[in-house]
A and B are shown apart, each in its own frame.
Chain A
């Protein structure tokens, strides 16, 4: 199929950005969106134009690196997938596709479609762990965990840290991401000892980094490629107020 692409181009953080239009031909329906971007870049290199910078690595929907905002939706039009798993069969011949980076104050732009998401690492550093050192831990089966709890914890742990939730949110809130990590750990007996400290420290860090407030619009859940549920936010809130009260 033949397509028109409107791509956000911006040389660096300081430069002014703008949309640039490119035509691209003969794209197979079976190719992935990023393969289409590869073809575009090959074409640009041939024409002597600098290729479009975008983040990607695993191309399997698990590393969380890919991050394109396509036709107004983080990760594009397919449900529950990352851009790297989005296939061109979701588009039609002759379509115009608008491609932008994640836009959020806490994710400053680096170049073209790449942004800096290190704020997510900083939030995890504030408390997204169980404080155990290597060695000297009990036998794994000495802590039985109800299967349902373990499954709920795993549901939350599936977050890939892509930041689509932030990009989707009109307040650029990181609540879904933070709540996923808090839930994963606070649901498990191993995480209980630090549950209060964790939720307070992570929420504070999130606020300090300039992420917005959560006003429960649910846009994050709708766009999350890993279907992280809003119930995690409810759980975080319960944990948070319990911590404040005690």
Chain B
């Protein structure tokens, strides 16, 4: 049975990564050509990894479900990417970025990984600039920075409100170059359906060609998953419609432990829900909190009148506004971390002070426009304001935006060791799909950093260390019985999905699941709520397999079938999330249990009993998974109660 060995290198924290690289095994150029690597995913993590491995001379196959690698969900990231460059001379260091990230994650991340992340952050910016990523610049021609939540320094690099797009296009261009050179082979509109193990090692995948419906087999000496997060469990989220947890879930069922599934991030600044036909939620970048002030009416009667449309926000006098973040957290004000800001918004709305539908608060730029002028605000946030206006039909230059928290990111994911290898030998997991760096809450602008750190600067080394012992393994045939078996299992499941022929569409079930998750496994969790949620998910799962209706056939393009496969997995992921949340009798970061809070309503950790990563092991269908614990030790950082008040 697999056990948890995080393989953290010896030595002081600042030297671990250097030591690792100095002693790791390498593969000589002639052997690299003989080694096949499968990379699933072309987001920041997957594209940067595939490109880097191609440059090194490995034979790489890369997969995505969209029609082009450039459309991976990373493209949608708006605000920016962190790095400890200290170009602003405001006191930033690698240690400070490391410290902020561990603290922001509420001391539930693995220290050594986070330090390495902070360490390579600067290389990322250099790399992207060399590729031609058009970051924002000052008049002197040097790079500009902005601030993000949870930090007292300005260390976020950005390209207008399209940072993810520009970083991904950079990685995509590097990937395209390797495709042209023949080092990387690209498979678009291909969805991974299962992982193939041979003698206990990851050796290949089964994919479905989404155009023809054909199942295909691919061998790799090693497999890397960079398939993103599972936030769409909630149906409504800021994720792309196709974002899914299926690849990670297939790996889980083949023996890769799943870590901290309960840790999801709820982003405070999203456009509120407006109707039940709604298909997704739109994020308004956190960078808006640099200049926007968040408030609700101080008097409950005013809130009511606003909701009824009897008065407008501008009718409420300054002294009758409650800038509740500035009030509660004077030191960080509107720039508190996301989990804190989200809960504060929920608290005000639950207490009856919400605006709009009652589930919204104001994000107001009036002061910033007075102070800096409309042009300056337009230069900073023009495209976000435009997006808001297109959706809401109101002009944020004139009347405050309305925002509400929404599911945005999953900190949990496949358990990986320091080398980013899962508990399945030869299976590496990168980017949002793994659990490693953000603990119980991720700071803004650090997912892009992590994706690119993993793909450009970490996994190309650690995968080599693994492959150095595989050089004598010849390319294997995909006619091996292990491939037969895996393909057959996939075929059976697809047959089953299409032949249920029940009454309800996939979306019907997905929406139901989303409601259960939001109400029971959302921003405020309780023991009873979670227990009830688990029961409800189990019921829904049964109903799904009895009443699902998937039109069309298997051997053609079939969007409903694709969605059905993903939702079938979400039903199981949701259950594990609830179980993990139930197990964790504390509040930390994005995981808030009503039973565990301070008198002021802040999250109350239980460091004595819960300073560990929960890593769940699959035991078979309808069996209880087994919980393993990776204890977290903090040597370079003193564990404290998070405090954003002073």
Binding site for B on A (CB under 8 A): 11-12, 28, 30-32, 34-35, 38-39, 42, 44-46, 48-51, 53, 55-65, 78, 80-81, 85, 87, 89, 110-111, 114, 116-118, 120-121, 124-126, 128-135, 137-141, 143-147, 150-151, 153-154, 157-158, 160-161, 184-185, 188, 190-191
Is the Cβ of B69 less than 8 Å from the Cβ of A121?
yes
Is the Cβ of B66 less than 8 Å from the Cβ of A185?
no
From known contacts A50-B552, A60-B387, A125-B177, infer whether A188 and B241 are also in contact, taking CB-CB under 8 Å. Answer: no
Q: Which B residues are CB-close (under 8 A) to A59? A: 240-241, 279-280, 282
B75 partner, pick from A58, A87, A139, beta carbons under 8 A:
A58
Q: Cβ of B327 < 8 Å from any Cβ of A?
A: no
Is the Cβ of B68 less than 8 Å from the Cβ of A118?
yes
Q: Cβ of B549 < 8 Å from any Cβ of A?
A: yes
Is the Cβ of B390 less than 8 Å from the Cβ of A145?
no
- 6 A-B pairs closest in CB distance: A144-B141, A129-B173, A137-B130, A154-B134, A140-B129, A125-B180
Residue of A nearest to B242 (CB): A57
Stretch at the interface among B161-169, B514-522, B590-598: B161-169
Q: Cβ of B627 < 8 Å from any Cβ of A?
A: no
Residue of A nearest to B280 (CB): A59
Q: Which A residues are CB-close (under 8 A) to B131? A: 129-130, 132, 190
Additional A-B contact list (5), CB under 8 Å, known A63-B71, A134-B127, A140-B85: A57-B242, A60-B280, A85-B391, A121-B68, A190-B129
Q: Which A residues are CB-close (under 8 A) to B29? A: none
Is the Cβ of B242 less than 8 Å from the Cβ of A49?
no
Is the Cβ of B125 less than 8 Å from the Cβ of A185?
no
Residue of A nearest to B144 (CB): A147
Is the Cβ of B70 less than 8 Å from the Cβ of A64?
yes
Q: Which B residues are CB-close (under 8 A) to A133? A: 52, 55
Number of contacting residues on B, CB 8 A?
79
Residue of B nearest to A153 (CB): B134
The docked-state distance in angstroms from the alpha carbon of A67 to that of B387 is 18
Nearest Cβ in chain B — how far from A65, in angstroms?
Answer: 5
Is the Cβ of B137 less than 8 Å from the Cβ of A150?
yes
Nearest Cβ in chain A — how far from B510, in angstroms?
Answer: 11
Binding site for A on B (CB under 8 A): 48, 51-52, 55, 66-71, 73, 75-76, 85, 87, 123, 125-132, 134-143, 159-160, 162, 164-166, 169, 172-174, 176-177, 179-180, 186, 188, 211, 240-242, 274-275, 277-280, 282-283, 386-387, 390-391, 393, 456-457, 460, 505, 507, 549, 551-552, 556-557, 559-560
The docked-state distance in angstroms from the alpha carbon of A59 to that of B70 is 15
Q: Which B residues are CB-close (under 8 A) to A125? A: 176-177, 179-180
The docked-state distance in angstroms from the alpha carbon of A60 to that of B239 is 10
From known contacts A45-B549, A65-B66, A150-B136, infer whether A118 and B180 are also in contact, taking CB-CB under 8 Å. Answer: no
Is the Cβ of B275 less than 8 Å from the Cβ of A28?
yes
Nearest Cβ in chain A — how far from B22, in angstroms?
Answer: 16
Is the Cβ of A138 less than 8 Å from the Cβ of B174?
no
Nearest Cβ in chain B — how far from A225, in angstroms?
Answer: 11
The docked-state distance in angstroms from the alpha carbon of A126 to that of B173 is 10
Nearest Cβ in chain A — how far from B144, in angstroms?
Answer: 9
Nearest Cβ in chain A — how far from B335, in angstroms?
Answer: 24
From known contacts A154-B160, A188-B132, infer whether A134 and B51 are also in contact, taking CB-CB under 8 Å. Answer: yes
The docked-state distance in angstroms from the alpha carbon of A8 to that of B179 is 34
Which residue, B127, B130, B143, B180, has most C-beta atoms of chain A within 10 A?
B130
Is the Cβ of A89 less than 8 Å from the Cβ of B277?
no
Q: Could you list 13 A-B pairs, sorted by A, with CB under 8 Å?
A: A12-B557, A50-B552, A57-B66, A57-B242, A63-B75, A85-B391, A117-B67, A130-B173, A133-B52, A140-B125, A141-B143, A147-B139, A161-B70
Is the Cβ of B240 less than 8 Å from the Cβ of A58?
yes
Which residue, B52, B135, B169, B549, has most C-beta atoms of chain A within 10 A?
B169
Q: Which A residues are CB-close (under 8 A) to B549? A: 45
Q: Which B residues are CB-close (under 8 A) to A81? A: 390
Q: Which A residues are CB-close (under 8 A) to B130? A: 130, 132, 137-138, 190
The docked-state distance in angstroms from the alpha carbon of A235 to that of B241 is 37
The docked-state distance in angstroms from the alpha carbon of A125 to that of B280 is 32
Nearest Cβ in chain A — how far from B587, in angstroms?
Answer: 31
From known contacts A110-B211, A144-B142, infer whether A134 and B177 are also in contact, taking CB-CB under 8 Å. Answer: no
The docked-state distance in angstroms from the alpha carbon of A184 to that of B18 is 36
Is the Cβ of A53 less than 8 Å from the Cβ of B73?
no
Is the Cβ of A145 less than 8 Å from the Cβ of B71?
no
The docked-state distance in angstroms from the alpha carbon of A139 to that of B123 is 8
Q: Which A residues are CB-close (under 8 A) to B460? A: 134
Which residue, B75, B138, B457, has most C-beta atoms of chain A within 10 A?
B75
Is the Cβ of A49 less than 8 Å from the Cβ of B551?
yes
Which residue, A31, A133, A185, has most C-beta atoms of chain B within 10 A?
A133
Residue of A nearest to B174 (CB): A129
